[in-house]
Amino acid sequence: MRSEQRLLEMNGITKVFPGVVANDSIDFDVRYGEVHTLLGENGAGKSTLVKILFGLYQSDEGSIRLRGDPTEITSPSEAIAARIGMIHQHFMLVPTLTVAENVALGTASTRRPFTDLDLVSERVAEISRQHGLAVDPSVEVRRLAVGERQRVEIVKALYRDVELLVLDEPTAVLTPGEVDDLFVILRRMADSGHGLIFISHKLREVMSLSDRITVLQNGRVVGTTTPAETNREELAQMMVGRSVNLTPHKPKREPGEVRLEVASLTVQGDREGVSVDQIDLQVRSGEILGVAGVSGNGQRELAEAIAGLRSIEAGGSIRIDGIDVTNENVRARRDRGLGFISEERMKDGAIAEFTVAENLLLLEHGSKKFTKRGMFAFGAINQHCEKLVEDFAVKTPSIETPTSSLSGGNIQKVILARELSAKPKVLLACQPTRGVDIGATEYIHNLLIEQRDLGTAMLLISEDLDEVLGLADRIAVMYEGRIVGIVPTGEASRSRIGLMMAGVPEQEARNGP
Amino acid sequence: MSDFFTLSVLVATAASGIRLATPYLLASLGETVGQRSGVLNLGVDGVMLLSAFFSYWVVLETGNLWLAVLVGVIVGLVMGLLYGFITVVLNATQGISGIGIYIFGLGLSGLLFRRQVGTPKPVRRLPNVDIPVLSDIPHLGAALFQRNLLTYLAFLLVPATVLLLGRTTFGLNIRSVGENPGAADSLGVSVERTRFAAILIANSMAGLAGAALVLQLGIFQPNLTQGMGFIAVALVYFGAWRPVGVMSGALLYGLVNATVLQWKALGIIPVNGSDLAAMAPAVLTILALVILARRVSAPAALTRPFTRH
């Protein structure tokens, strides 16, 4: 159901921060009853635009009209009063409070100064029923799973009677099944007259949910279209400014002998209980084994255990090229040919304050290639690093630039350059393109496939199902610390993997939902 | 030792313990409210010293006890305004600015005392007020219901604080601002105003604590508190940021203190070899903290200044 009157009009919005024009003369509008997606890479200006709408920033130029009337929004309270709601990428929930308390926060109570949580709970139950959003008002939010927390966020918005709802990357933490559920809810909301602004960079979802799509690049509107008039490749091109290959080209390869073997691996988590539960994996030379799963199911702990960053007192073994490395430290494992791309590049993969050259050097800094009697041989070092920067297309002003000034994609390339130039026999790659732009993602995917073709055995752990489906030869799905099943990619479908990601055993998943 | 375990001595010790607990309880309850909103106030001792001095001075000059109590609270309020400005407006590092307040209070109270009073002179003390009927209960009545009004107030403030935090909108704001100020801000709750109000409450109660301390003792001297304010902060952790837990901590502390004093009076421990005895309450509290170490978690945003980015 769509109407011609505009719920929201933003005209000529410009916002400048020191050194960057975040929004450049942006025109954007939302109709009643539509889902209008804001699509763009990191830094394209989507977050800035909606933060202006929500009163967290003020625009430098431009105007906003709500329901036809010019409006100024200078704080979140004013936005809420204007019936605008925002569901942030990182949930704005207080974990120690109950659902009802979280919903009531910031609203006026009928029994001032006392709270009226019983009435709030009733209303929450009503909204829950009306919109198919299952939530229990009396539960503390910290006990809720991610999908449930998101429902609480939506209930919060509906409780405040929002008419225009902004959703900032809502699907980042959901399984494919939960994404489908969410989209059903959003579609219902749109059909009942709400206007929805959906921010995402996931092309598949954007195509599935949107009524209209506006693409931003470098702070400007590149164009507005509809799913019927476009496709993922075109959208990617609009986002990046050049044509992008979304599915990496993966020639068929025959895998060789087993390089990495993990047997009955059991690892303690940071809290109570075991986060990796009796995992068996084998990765062969020349193959990519993808590990799919929603974050929080033990992937991080598995990677840390294999890398040597987490001890495995609870049981199991790890072998590289047949040699038992279970009790060896990180250095020893690396010397045996293990490369590691950690999931948090700025925390574990690179040292932010170090220069690009220093980070590139970081494994071999003691090697005879680069030192003379304990002192660095800068000539050899610089030559080596310049070559790496060139070979891996790292966009950096110089090799002396602090790594923190680089974009996420380029930092990732630095890490890859360092790891891959050591010619690893086994490569452990975790979320290699998380937070990385489409262009750099394309590049990194090609790099990884090239590496596979050179004979490296690769374990790819990723929450991005498209990435796993595109790169891996076989896919293992992790759920609650266990492998639910291992499927050759040729036989894997999104729905089947999605079910397994939610814990459905392989056999059942094979038979379909 | 057998002298100690006579009923009358035990009752007297209990009474003394409850009285001694009063300033700790007041200061600690206030600090709890402040900390639940995310603000650590290490300056409690300094505030207590300043309010103690001014309360004492008022009684010395006017003989009016209740005016003295009022002045004590006002001193706390003023210090609260100062700390609020430093913490909420200037976003200063809370631990360090708190110590600054402590040193300020310690120094100013000592200075003013020496210049305005000179040698300690005893003053009127808070009279005990017997609660009708309840104070006639054998033994228990003497211990619990023949205390002064500030003690009764302190214990009444425990359920009042529970109510405030758990059942009022303001309390909900405080709790959210202490755990996830970003979330509260996104819903239109003013983090600054909530924290400022919590700071005013915390410091006013510290002021009341200082008044209670000096008016129970009936005398002032420089550094009267001897670090009491810091113990009050520790009691917040002991009580896991819950008013009832804090009350148990204050009572434990008060009773141990009272027991030590009683043992000295009975000759069970030497009056002057008293350093070990002075340590006892603190050591016991630490032990209790260690033994009872449940996995309690502090308000997540404690000590972290909030800026909207």
pLDDT per residue as tens digits for the range A191-240: 989 999 999 888 889 999 999 999 999 899 999 999 999 999 999 999 88
Instruction: Report phi then psi at A499, rounded to 5.
Output: -65, -45
**A77 close to B (CB below 8 A):** yes
Instruction: Quote the CA–CA distance of A414 and A416 in Å, as a whole number.
Output: 5
Instruction: Quote the CA–CA distance of A301 and A311 in Å, as a whole number.
Output: 10
The answer to which of A281-290, B264-273, B300-309 has the lowest mean pLDDT is B264-273
Question: Which of B36, B167, B172 has the most A C-beta neighbours within 10 Å, making it the best mutation to test the interface with A?
Answer: B172
State the average pLDDT over residues A434-460. Answer: 89
Residue A352: per-residue pLDDT: 83
Residue A513: per-residue pLDDT: 54
Residue A1: per-residue pLDDT: 44
- Res B1 pLDDT > 90: no
Where is pLDDT greater, at B107 or A491?
B107
Name the 3-class secondary structure at A382: helix
- For A:133-192, CB contacts with B below 8 A are 156
Q: Is the dihedral of CA B132, B133, B138, B141 positive or negative?
A: negative
State the average pLDDT over residues A297-305. Answer: 88
State the average pLDDT over residues A121-132. Answer: 90
B202-246, pLDDT tens digit by residue? 999 999 999 999 999 999 999 999 889 999 998 998 888 999 999
Instruction: Quote the CA–CA distance of A96 and B184 in Å, as a whole number.
Output: 13
State the average pLDDT over residues A310-319. Answer: 83
Average pLDDT, chain A: 88
Instruction: Report phi then psi at B120, rounded to 5.
Output: -60, 130
A380-415, pLDDT tens digit by residue? 889 989 998 888 888 888 888 888 888 878 888 899
Residue type for A186, please? L
Of B168, B169, B176, the CB nearest to A94: B176
Residue type for A28, please? F
- Res A433 pLDDT > 60: yes
Q: What percent of chain A has pLDDT over 70?
A: 98
- Res A172 pLDDT > 80: no
Residue A4: per-residue pLDDT: 64
pLDDT-derived band at B273, boundaries 50, 70, 90: low
B186/A76 touch (CB, cutoff 8 Å), yes or no: yes
Residue A366: per-residue pLDDT: 77
- Res A105 pLDDT > 50: yes
B172/A56 touch (CB, cutoff 8 Å), yes or no: no
A92/B186 touch (CB, cutoff 8 Å), yes or no: yes
Average pLDDT, chain B: 90
- Res A501 pLDDT > 50: yes
Name residues whose C-beta falls within 8 Å of residue B281's C-beta, 6 or more positions apart in sequence: B253, B256, B257, B260
Residue B158: per-residue pLDDT: 97
State the average pLDDT over residues B155-181. Answer: 96
A182 within 8 A of A151, measured Cβ to Cβ:
no
Instruction: Quote the CA–CA distance of B222 and B68 in Å, as a whole number.
Output: 18
B17-56, pLDDT tens digit by residue? 999 999 999 999 999 999 999 999 999 999 999 999 999 9
CA distances from B122 to A196, A263, A468, B15, B72 (A): 72, 79, 81, 22, 18
Name residues whose C-beta falls within 8 Å of residue A503's C-beta, 6 or more positions apart in sequence: A479, A480, A484
B209 within 8 A of B32, measured Cβ to Cβ:
no
> How many other C-beta atoms are found inside a 10 Å radius of the C-beta of residue B199?
26
B184/A106 touch (CB, cutoff 8 Å), yes or no: yes
**A118 close to B (CB below 8 A):** no
**A119 close to B (CB below 8 A):** no
List the structure tokens of A357: 């050259």
Q: Chain B residue with minimal CA distance to A75?
A: B188
Q: Chain A residue with minimal CA distance to B174?
A: A105
Residue A33: per-residue pLDDT: 92
Where is pLDDT greater, at A461 or A345?
A461
A76/B173 touch (CB, cutoff 8 Å), yes or no: no
**A101 close to B (CB below 8 A):** yes
Instruction: Report phi then psi at A266, rounded to 5.
Output: -130, 130
Residue A411: per-residue pLDDT: 87
Instruction: Quote the CA–CA distance of A464 and A128 in Å, as a whole number.
Output: 30
Of B170, B172, B188, the CB nearest to A76: B188
Of B167, B187, B188, the CB nearest to A114: B167
For residue A137, say if its preceding peptide bond is cis, omega within 30 degrees of 0: no
Name the 3-class secondary structure at A493: coil
Q: Which of A257-261, A306-310, B28-32, B280-284 has the highest mean predicted lDDT (pLDDT)?
A: B28-32
Find, among A86, A92, A99, A150, the residue nearest to A125 by Cα: A99
> How many other C-beta atoms are found inside a 10 Å radius of the C-beta of residue B263?
19
Query: Cβ-count burial of A117 within 10 angstroms (0-12 exposed, 13-18 middle, 19+ buried)?
Result: buried
Residue A191: per-residue pLDDT: 92
A487 within 8 A of A497, measured Cβ to Cβ:
yes
B285 within 8 A of B236, measured Cβ to Cβ:
no
- Res B73 pLDDT > 90: yes
- Res A317 pLDDT > 80: yes
A249-260, pLDDT tens digit by residue? 888 888 888 888
Give the residues across from A224 on adjacent strands.
Answer: A214
Q: Kindly compute the dihedral angle of the four CA atoms of residues B169, B171, B173, B178, in this order, to the nearest 10 degrees.
A: -170
Please report the DSSP string for B74-101 in residue order.
Answer: HHHHHHHHHHHIIIIIS---HHHHHHHH
pLDDT-derived band at B293, boundaries 50, 70, 90: low
pLDDT-derived band at B277, boundaries 50, 70, 90: low
Of A75, A94, A109, the CB nearest to B183: A94
A86 within 8 A of B186, measured Cβ to Cβ:
yes
Residue A130: per-residue pLDDT: 86
Instruction: Quote the CA–CA distance of A157 and A124 in Å, as a whole number.
Output: 11
A94/B173 touch (CB, cutoff 8 Å), yes or no: no
A97/B172 touch (CB, cutoff 8 Å), yes or no: yes
What per-residue string of b and e applies to B170-188 under the rule 16 or more CB within 10 Å gives b?
bbbbbbbbbbbbbbbbbbb
- Nearest-Cα distance to chain A for B205, in Å, is 21
Entry pTM: 0.78
Q: Chain B residue with minimal CA distance to A100?
A: B172
